[in-house]
Structure 1
Amino acid sequence: MFVVSLASAVATFALIGGASGVIAASIVGALAVCGLERLSRSGRLGGIGGSRSNSLVLSGSSTPLVVDLIATALRSGQPLPTVLCIVAELAEAPLGPLLDQVGRMLQLGADPTTAWARVLADPTLAEIARAAIRSAESGIRLADDFEQLATDLRAERRGAAEVRAGRAGTWAIAPLGLCFLPAFVCLGIAPIVVGVAHDVFARVGR
């Protein structure tokens, strides 16, 4: 797995070169590791054959991975604007286009608060903007914040998934409860009602 990741990174750097090549190589290496780990866990390592879009484009549910990629590239010493523009090409909307816009605005010298304004307005992505604005002057500190943010996002999504699973379990049990309801009425409630009625009528008859 390490050999494949390293080979992917080296090949990417050889093709692109320069600062952009370093960033792209870091990203490709990280993606290779994540992809191989996922495939090995699912037992499909020998059957890789997906489409280009499925292998290179990160869906909206991959926001924690996008944040991790940004942190990794920042730790390599690359400037945030360049990192954002490159990572943006791997992310689907709305995150991808927003990151690209932020990167281009920062390259033009925009204030961080102004550049991240649109991302800050999106409730699902606002934490990314807040972390970037807080640590605008320090790339290493921003990398630390982004790594922590990625961890928090994963924990939040796990919690949401557990809640959804709990609700699904409740709804799955409900039909089963309805199936047992007639038996409960016949065996649990009906005898009590009959017994009470028998006592009442017996007293009335006296």
Structure 2
Amino acid sequence: MPLAGAVGGAWVLAGGVTGAVLGLGAGVVLWWWRGRQLAAGRAEAVDTAAATRQLPLAADLLAACIAAGAGPVVAAQAVGEALGGPVGRALARGAAEVRLGGEPAAAWRGLAQLPGAAALARLLERADESGLPAAEPAARLASDARAQWARTATARARRAAVLISAPVGLCFLPAFIAVGVLPVVIGLAGGMRGGR
């Protein structure tokens, strides 16, 4: 519909073949732009799922790097570059901003926007501002993220078991009626008829 509107609008404004060509060009650009917007929306949804999966590993790697003696910013930079994905990009971007002199709260905001990563972002911000040790809290965050992921997976499995029982029950119900209930009803009806 927007493509037809662009072609028709340009044809009315410019008129003739020139208007049709301009409208067709505007329609193609509009169609291309809309496709990119839809692709960006789909990519964001995929990134959310990837971020949820990557978060425990990222926190474990951060804890290991910090325990080995690296500072929180250096550890975040190393883990971000090694890990990749949405969590890795957010870690690398935040570390780069802090190293360039950015405010830690603003630098780790991108990480905090990922699902479940707000506590890790606060930890990195506090460790950078105050110098508090961050290895044990990062390991604890990894453990908590893994436990949350396991709880979510268990809840999904339970929900799937409940949802699958209805179709299975509907498949076996006709067989149960045909093999179990119908012969009994026919036998009782025959017995009542013969008993007259």
Residues 57-107 of structure 1 show CA distances to partners (whole Å, capped at 9, x for unaligned) of xx6423211111111111222122211111111223211111111111111
Residues 11-64 of structure 1 show CA distances to partners (whole Å, capped at 9, x for unaligned) of xxxxxxxxxxxxxxxxxxxxxxxxxxxxxxxxxxxxxxxxxxxxxxxx642321
Q: CA deviation at 1:118?
A: 1.6
Number of the residue aligned with 1:67:
59
CA distance in 1, matches of 2:159, 2:182: 29
Kept in 2, the 8 Å contact 1:67–1:146? The answer is yes
Q: Measured at CA, do residues 155 and 185 of structure 1 come closer, stay the same or move farther in structure 2, by a change above 3 Å?
A: same
CA distance in 2, matches of 1:76, 1:171: 47
TM-score by length of 1: 0.57
- Partner of 1:149, secondary structure, is helix
Q: CA deviation at 1:166?
A: 1.4
RMSD: 3.0
Please, which of 151, 154, 162 is the counterpart of residue 154 of structure 2?
162
Q: CA deviation at 1:191?
A: 6.8
Residues 181-204 of structure 1 show CA distances to partners (whole Å, capped at 9, x for unaligned) of 224545559978xx8xxx9xxxxx
Larger radius of gyration: 2
Please, which of 131, 138, 143 is the counterpart of residue 131 of structure 2?
138
Q: Measured at CA, do residues 189 and 143 of structure 1 come closer, stay the same or move farther in structure 2, by a change above 3 Å?
A: farther
What amino acid is the match of 2:157?
A
Kept in 2, the 8 Å contact 1:75–1:139? The answer is no
Q: Measured at CA, do residues 131 and 190 of structure 1 come closer, stay the same or move farther in structure 2, by a change above 3 Å?
A: farther
What amino acid is the match of 1:119?
L
Q: CA deviation at 1:128?
A: 1.4
Q: Measured at CA, do residues 139 and 83 of structure 1 come closer, stay the same or move farther in structure 2, by a change above 3 Å?
A: farther
Structure 2 residue 95 is matched with structure 1 residue 103: yes
Structure 2 residue 68 is matched with structure 1 residue 76: yes
What's the % identity of the aligned pairs? Answer: 31
Looking at secondary structure, tell me which structure has more helix per residue: 2
Structure 2 residue 111 is matched with structure 1 residue 113: no
Number of the residue aligned with 1:90:
82
Note the residue ranges of structure 2 that are not aligned, 5 or more in a row: 1-49
Structure 2 residue 144 is matched with structure 1 residue 152: yes
Shift >3 Å, 4+ stretches: 183-192
Residues paired across the two proteins, number: 141
- Partner of 2:62, secondary structure, is helix
